[in-house]
Structure 1
């Protein structure tokens, strides 16, 4: 058996999968887009779900088992303390963010996002009838605190009824793979506090930090709210459940979450995620080693087959943010189309139609995404190699 867990599932078996990653495109397309990894689940997860089904444990979720398991994981991995009473179970990370946006801002309020960023940040905010305000990342793909302060100054200043705006943070950042440092997060907390802006931090990729120190946002901001799940790191997106974790001063906020929100999480999903956090850590370590190897494969393949595509390797996630501005497929008039979950724009369109590689269009990630694509490295190394060879032939 290969040391790289991404080599353990043959390509033919991957093509038999029925989830969106492998069914969205025609069979000749290599799917390198949506955030699913091409892995077998951790044995502990499979066993936990199988046992639950055998005993008929298929009802509604109850208790704090999920929060307890995540608390043990956070303590072991990051030395972070989770106050279980300041947690809430939700159906998934983005639905949790949606509910918090509605809870913390008035209708017509604002959501600050640090673009280029995960497209649902734009889409869910707009669906909540809030205005999206961009505070773009710097050229180094890190938080630009001056841009954040400018955005906060424009939309902050909540009164007695609460803040007018929240900042929706991605930590680690999707699509760049940047891991915000503790110093950056502390500075962010200070800036947002000055303007009465609350921070909601999406930390679903936190277990996938490859070579940096991760700082949970709730540990640096007493009014901060983090969202987490085992879904990305343990490849359980189809088993939906997630957790809100609050800082020291968020108890009243969490108590105001509508009771109906707790109806969304799946009990079987919670069983699976608990097993992942408690008993899947060795599996996760193998995956992290595999991702480091895949990252090296991408670097070598780009240098050999597609040198006009530029890439700053990320510190976390299984996603690569590829800069195609110097390629033949760059579009001079390319514009950001925030929140558009599409693939037929910018270089992604050319790579799909002419190279038969399915990538996420950078334009959907907002300002700074023009003429970029997001590539999923959570797959077989030979698939990465072949995808880059195809892309390089037209780039």
Structure 2
């Protein structure tokens, strides 16, 4: 695979573009859940202005009154071209894609295609909390296969979970988070091929959430699951949502491997009515014209990871944090602090900084917090200062 190196020429760091006063004018979840004296470093929203090509595309659509229902394959074509150039993957076939409202609703629809009521779905905890919520809501059984001590897939544990889940001929699925949220781990080609081999051995269907795929650290290569040997019967969900801060402009793509095309063909036609047409326009613009902006963002996130590591070493050395290989989220192990309550509660109540509690992430999450790095260095510095003050 030939990959194009990041090029940030001519693009300023978007993480340094907005003042805290301007950010507090926003009305989204990040800025309205807590009182104004709380510094929000929790939910996955970035403190950035939108990339100019996205603003232009959406503004042009609104001026034209182009606000109907989504149609066509422009989004899929844009993602296929991006995947080829970015990851060296030329196997994203437009005819094996379908637009879905967002990644998690797409996950639900893919799981409906390959499992039935009461069937098990394996997840690697600690993992994105909606995995638990959506699986339970659709009447499937969550089976945890906790990550290893190194934060990576424990294949012995995964094999046991597959064997248990597929016992008696049950239809089982594996909901893989790649890159992994909250740890920021990027699964290697070898890891993914091993997943595919285990899934084939036990008859487990793999559905993979790859929403964070564009958000890799410098020198780290993302590998699409459908590109590895054995991944041909997998189902993937991708979106420009996380990388370009488009959560409020709903759109995502379900992608089938060659052997899963018949499964995707059974997707109900009405599912494609759920995405926002403006969202599709925005995501398409991001993928086709937003790469320079993305590269500037990635360089800024690399800087912020280093900054956080330095700040923790200076002010909170008892907290352990492995620098993530992807996402803009940091997973902080606070167990050595010896607190008798959830550290997220301590940092909120005493420090007035909002972080995600690790508990909803499942087994392995207690004693941890998740911190959002997609903000200015000044906000990160203030956040760590408040965290340290909360422990005095």
TM score, norm. by length of structure 1: 0.94
Counterpart in the other structure of 1:10: 19
How far off is 1:394 after superposition? Answer: 3.1
How far off is 1:66 after superposition? Answer: 0.7
Distance 1:330 1:83 in 2: 52
Counterpart in the other structure of 1:63: 72
Distance 1:19 1:393 in 2: 28
Counterpart in the other structure of 2:182: 175
Query: Secondary structure, in 3 states, of the residue corresponding to 2:45?
Result: coil
Counterpart in the other structure of 2:211: 204
Distance 1:268 1:381 in 2: 32
Whether 2:296 is the aligned partner of 1:286: answer yes
Query: Secondary structure, in 3 states, of the residue corresponding to 2:311?
Result: helix
Q: What is the root-mean-square deviation of aligned Cα atoms in Å?
A: 1.3
Query: Secondary structure, in 3 states, of the residue corresponding to 1:51?
Result: helix
- Counterparts in 2 of 1:257 and 1:2: CA distance versus 1, 3 Å: closer
How far off is 1:146 after superposition? Answer: 0.8
User: Is the CA contact 1:177–1:319 (under 8 Å) kept in the aligned structure 2?
Assistant: yes
How far off is 1:4 after superposition? Answer: 3.0
1:245 maps to which of 241, 245, 255: 255
Distance 2:310 2:172 in 1: 43
Distance 2:114 2:131 in 1: 16
2:385 maps to which of 361, 369, 389: 389
User: Is the CA contact 2:166–2:202 (under 8 Å) kept in the aligned structure 1?
Assistant: yes
How far off is 1:393 after superposition? Answer: 2.2
Gaps of 5+ in 1: 332-345
Query: Secondary structure, in 3 states, of the residue corresponding to 1:208?
Result: coil
Counterpart in the other structure of 2:94: 84
User: Is the CA contact 2:184–2:330 (under 8 Å) kept in the aligned structure 1?
Assistant: yes
**Structure 1 segments of 4+ aligned residues over 6 angstroms from their partners:** none
Whether 2:366 is the aligned partner of 1:370: answer yes
- What are the Cα deviations for residues 320-370 of structure 1, in whole angstroms up to 9, with x where unaligned? 000000114354xxxxxxxxxxxxxx1111111111110000011000101
Distance 2:70 2:167 in 1: 39
User: Is the CA contact 1:157–1:196 (under 8 Å) kept in the aligned structure 2?
Assistant: no
Counterpart in the other structure of 2:83: 74
Whether 2:334 is the aligned partner of 1:354: answer no
How far off is 1:300 after superposition? Answer: 1.1
- What are the Cα deviations for residues 156-198 of structure 1, in whole angstroms up to 9, with x where unaligned? 1585xxx611100000000000000000000010011111100
Most deviating of 382-391 and 149-158: 149-158
User: Is the CA contact 2:182–2:330 (under 8 Å) kept in the aligned structure 1?
Assistant: yes
- What are the Cα deviations for residues 353-388 of structure 1, in whole angstroms up to 9, with x where unaligned? 111110000011000101000000001111111111
Query: Secondary structure, in 3 states, of the residue corresponding to 1:367?
Result: coil
How far off is 1:2 after superposition? Answer: 9.8
Whether 2:225 is the aligned partner of 1:217: answer yes
Counterpart in the other structure of 2:5: none
Counterpart in the other structure of 1:315: 325
Query: Secondary structure, in 3 states, of the residue corresponding to 1:103?
Result: helix
Whether 2:153 is the aligned partner of 1:143: answer yes
Matches within 5 A, 1:257-336: 257-329=267-339, 331=341
Distance 1:326 1:276 in 2: 42
Q: How many residues get paired? A: 378
1:256 maps to which of 266, 271, 291: 266
Counterpart in the other structure of 1:156: 166
User: Is the CA contact 2:11–2:293 (under 8 Å) kept in the aligned structure 1?
Assistant: no
Counterpart in the other structure of 1:114: 124
TM score, norm. by length of structure 2: 0.94
User: Is the CA contact 1:157–1:197 (under 8 Å) kept in the aligned structure 2?
Assistant: no
User: Is the CA contact 1:330–1:371 (under 8 Å) kept in the aligned structure 2?
Assistant: no
Query: Secondary structure, in 3 states, of the residue corresponding to 1:175?
Result: coil
- What are the Cα deviations for residues 215-256 of structure 1, in whole angstroms up to 9, with x where unaligned? 101112011111000000000000000001111101100111
Distance 1:231 1:158 in 2: 39
Distance 1:306 1:170 in 2: 29
Distance 1:364 1:255 in 2: 34
Most deviating of 86-95 and 3-12: 3-12
How far off is 1:102 after superposition? Answer: 1.6
Distance 1:328 1:361 in 2: 16
